[in-house]
Amino acid sequence: MSNQREKLLILALDGFDPDFFTCHHDKLPHLSRWADEGSLSPLTSTIPPMTFPAWTTFLTGVNPGKHGIFDFTARIPGELRCRFINSSHRQAPTFLKVASQEGLRVGCVGIPCTYPPEELSGFQISGFDTPLPSKADSSFIYPPALAAKIESELGGVQFGNFNESHISKGWHLRVLQKLLEGIQRKTALSRLLLEEFPLDVFVLHVGETDTVGHHFWCFSDPKSPRYLRSKSGEVESAILQVYQAADRLAGEVAGLFKPTTVMVVSDHGMTGTSDRVIYLNRYLEQCGLLKFKKSDLTDGFISRGKRFGMRWIPYQLQQQVFRVAGGRLAGDIESRQRFGSINWEGTFTYSEELNYYPAVYLNLRGREPYGIIDEADRERWCDKVADALLAWIDPGTGSQVVAKVHRRENIYHGNHTHLAPDLILELHRPAGYVYALGRSSSADGKNPVRQMTGDEYVGFKGASMNGSHQPNGIFIFHHDSERISLSNEISLMDVAPTVLSLFKLQVPSWMDGSNLLGSNEYRTGELDVASATRNYSAEEEAILYSRLLELGYLG
Question: CATH code at 183?
Answer: 3.40.720.10
Q: 250 and 289: one domain?
A: no
Strand residues in 418-471 grouped as ranges (E): 423-427, 434-437, 449-451, 467-470
Q: 430 and 477: one domain?
A: no
Cα separation of 473 and 249, whole Å?
A: 19
Residue that terminates a domain, selected from 468, 483, 508? 468
Sequential pLDDT tens for the chain (555 residues): 555 689 999 999 999 999 999 999 999 999 999 999 999 999 999 999 999 999 999 999 999 999 999 999 898 888 888 888 999 999 999 999 999 999 999 999 999 999 999 999 999 999 988 887 655 578 899 999 999 999 999 998 877 666 656 677 888 999 999 999 999 999 999 999 999 999 999 999 999 999 999 999 999 999 999 999 988 889 999 999 999 999 999 999 999 999 999 999 999 999 999 999 999 999 999 999 999 998 654 455 455 555 544 454 555 555 555 455 445 555 566 667 788 899 999 999 999 999 899 999 999 999 999 999 999 999 999 999 999 999 999 999 999 999 999 999 999 999 999 999 999 999 999 999 999 999 998 878 889 999 999 888 987 544 588 999 999 999 999 999 888 777 778 999 999 999 999 999 999 999 999 999 887 667 767 777 656 678 887 778 777 777 777 666 766
Which runs of consecutive H residues, i.e. helices, occur in 197-263? 208-220, 233-236, 238-257
Q: 496 and 441: one domain?
A: no
Q: 228 and 337: one domain?
A: no
A 10 A CB-CB count for 198 gives: 10
Q: 515 and 416: one domain?
A: no
Q: 51 and 195: one domain?
A: yes
> Which structural domain range is residue 265 located in?
8-272+470-550
Q: 135 and 163: one domain?
A: yes
Cα 454 from chain centroid (whole Å): 27
H-run or E-run covering 59? helix 51-60
What is the DSSP secondary structure assignment for residue 121, as one 8-state letter?
S
Q: 124 and 75: one domain?
A: yes
Q: 42 and 158: one domain?
A: yes
Residue that terminates a domain, selected from 419, 437, 468? 468
Residue 431 belongs to a domain = yes
H-run or E-run covering 548? helix 538-550
Residue that terminates a domain, selected from 452, 468, 484? 468
Q: 185 and 236: one domain?
A: yes
Q: 312 and 330: one domain?
A: yes
CB–CB of 168/121 below 8 Å? no
Global pTM?
A: 0.92
Residue 1 belongs to a domain = no
Q: 52 and 183: one domain?
A: yes
137 burial class (0-12, 13-18, 19+ CB within 10 angstroms)?
A: middle
> How many Cα atoms occupy the beta-carbon half-sphere of 255 within 13 Å?
9
Domain total for the chain?
2
Residue 173 belongs to a domain = yes
Residue 2 belongs to a domain = no
Cα separation of 230 and 208, whole Å?
A: 21
